[in-house]
Structures are given as structure tokens and as C-alpha cells.
Amino acid sequence: MLEKANLCIDVGNTSIKSALYDPNERGIAYISRYRDASELITPIQAAGRVYLSNVGKEDVTLLIQSICADNNVQLFIAETQKSAFGLTNSYSTPSNMGVDRWLAMLACMQKSQSKTFLVVDIGTAMTVDAVQNGVHLGGWIVPGLSLLKQSLFKNTQRVFGSEENFGLTDFGKDTPLCVDHGCTAQILGTLLMAEREMKKNVKKFEIFLTGGDKKLFLNLDVKNIIQCENLVLEGLTLFVD
Ligand SMILES: Nc1ncnc2c1ncn2[C@@H]1O[C@H](COP(=O)(O)OP(=O)(O)OP(=O)(O)O)[C@@H](O)[C@H]1O
Ligand SMILES: CC(C)(CO)[C@@H](O)C(=O)NCCC(=O)O
Ligand SMILES: [K+]
């Protein structure tokens, strides 16, 4: 009998990503991106089991629950835990931590030999989480690139620009370039500061980088950055049995 596929779904604040996962193959297959949860109906109908991470609207969970129920598809909804797979959370209320951060750390626990690393996820928000010997030291949450720019455009009279991003940090000579390059510098600067903060605790660590805007870091002169397509989806695969 042919096993039906495992569909992993990562619901963020801007978009939804999904991938099929076959435990007999290495890693996750091609990642699809959706704007609207209704686009999930067809892929869910074709799946045997669904594994969900949602930090976005609760409505999306409700919709996925009803699609799964209508089609007799089993659904697993991931939640942030106090500890799992050798990782210990630092939050006194673990459920307050976005499950995307937790899953990304769990994925890195599998990849890191020393279990000592930074994980940086750059999407709508940018998150940084520090782990030493499997213990979460804590993290940061800051606005992502698009939110940084929008907050400037919204709260000033004379600052303007576009959503377009060039991934550069040289000094700008007009308003849009001052905004774009400056906000890029703020994002890259967050990683540099995180590295500095981590070095107060540990000498050697990996930096795992994920999220839709990870290419911003392409030209950053930081060693041991490991780019990962989607650590949240990878973390979900740990729950596939
Ligand atoms: N194919 C794509 N379509 C849309 N945006 C993309 C694409 N590839 C990369 N991006 C970038 O990804 C960013 C969003 O990142 P991501 O998908 O990680 O965010 P998200 O859906 O809000 O997830 P999260 O809430 O987990 O951060 C956008 O700002 C955009 O620049
Ligand atoms: C910070 C985001 C938005 C990043 O996707 C998500 O992880 C989230 O909603 N977190 C809740 C707050 C927290 O993690 O402490
Ligand atoms: K994110």
C-alpha cells in the first residue's frame, strides 16, 4: 500500500509556505508559497497527514482544521514546549513564544554538533534565538525590513521610497536609497550585535539563517553562517512518525 504524503505547513504573518515530507527521503521537497489559506484546499486533499505551525491568524488554523476534517486528513498542530528533543526553553511561559522560533531551534538542534548556535529568521519580523548546549539563552524580536520601511513612511511627512530592496548598505544619496540602505544596515547590524552578544557566553557557535529575506545577508562578512531554506518546515518534520 502506498503511504499518503505528509504535508508540512508554515503560516507566517505575511505568507503561508508548505512542503511535502517523505521520511524515506532526505529533507523536505520543493516549498510552495501562498497568499491565502484557501489555496491549501487542494494540497491538503492530496495529503495523508498535515503538520501545522501557525504564528499568524487563528482563522487559518480553523480553516485548515475544517479542510482536514472534511477530507479525513489527520492534523498535528505544533505548540511551543518547555523542552523537547534535547532543547530547553528559557521562557517561563513557553506558550508565549512563537512556535516558528521553537521549531526553527529544534531543526538546528539536529544540525548542530555542539548544540550551540544562533538562529536568525528574517521574515515579517526578524527573530534571533541563542542556544548553548541545548539550553535557550533567550532571543530578540525586531521588525523585518518591510515593517521598518513602512513605519518610516507612515510616521513621517517627507520620507518616501519603495518596497523594492537592493540588499546594499552604502550611504544613500536620495531619500529612497537612504531609507532602503539604512534599513538594510539596521537588519544586518542586528545580526552583528547578536554575534557580539553570543560571544560573551561562548567562543564557538554556528549561525543558522532562514526566512524569506535571508538573501539580504549574502554579502555580509560573517563566518559560519549556514543558510537554510525553511527551518520552521524542517522543525515540523521531527513530529512525523
Ligand atoms: N517568492 C516570494 N514571494 C514573496 N516574498 C518573498 C518571496 N521570496 C522571498 N520573499 C521575501 O520574504 C519576505 C517574507 O518572509 P517570510 O516568507 O519568511 O515571511 P512571513 O510569511 O511573514 O513568515 P514569518 O511570519 O514566519 O516571518 C518578504 O518580505 C519578501 O521580501
Ligand atoms: C515574532 C514572530 C512574529 C516571528 O514570526 C512570532 O514568533 C511570534 O508571533 N512570536 C510571539 C512572541 C514571542 O515569540 O515571544
Ligand atoms: K520570521
Q: What tens digit of pLDDT does each residue of 49-81 get?
A: 999 999 999 999 999 999 999 999 999 999 999
**Catalytic hit among 100, 129, 180, 213:** 100
Evaluate if residue 150 carries a pLDDT over 70: yes
* pLDDT-based confidence at residue 96 (cuts at 50, 70, 90): very high
Task: For domain 5-77, give the fold.
Answer: Nucleotidyltransferase; domain 5 (3.30.420)
Cα(28) to centroid(ligand 3), Å: 19
Evaluate if residue 218 carries a pLDDT over 90: no
Give the mutation target among 13, 14, 16 for probing the ligand 1 site: most ligand atoms within 8 A of CB.
14
Res 207: pLDDT: 97
Cβ(141) – ligand 2 distance below 6 Å: yes
Domain with CATH 3.30.420.40 in the chain: 5-77, 83-144+178-237
Cβ(90) – ligand 1 distance below 6 Å: no
Evaluate if residue 184 carries a pLDDT over 90: yes
CATH of 83-144+178-237, one of 3.90.650.10, 3.30.420.40, 3.40.1160.10, 3.40.630.10: 3.30.420.40
Query: How many CB atoms within 10 Å of residue 35?
Result: 9
* pLDDT-based confidence at residue 97 (cuts at 50, 70, 90): very high
Instruction: Establish whether 100 is a catalytic residue.
Output: yes
Q: Are 42 and 228 in contact (CB under 8 A)?
A: no
Cβ(132) – ligand 1 distance below 6 Å: no
* Residue type present at position 3: E
Evaluate if residue 2 carries a pLDDT over 70: no
The residue behind cell 539580504 is 216
Mean pLDDT of the chain: 96
ipTM: 0.92
Task: Provide the pairing of β-strand 135-143 with 125-132.
Answer: antiparallel
Cα(12) to centroid(ligand 2), Å: 9
Between 166 and 185, the more confident residue is 185
Dist CA 152 CA 158 (whole Å): 10
Alpha-carbon torsion (233, 109, 167, 14), positive or negative: positive
The residue whose CA has the least distance to atom 6 of ligand 2 is 98
Give per-residue pLDDT as tens, 3-59: 789 999 999 999 999 999 999 888 898 999 999 999 999 999 999 999 999 999 999
* Residue type present at position 16: I
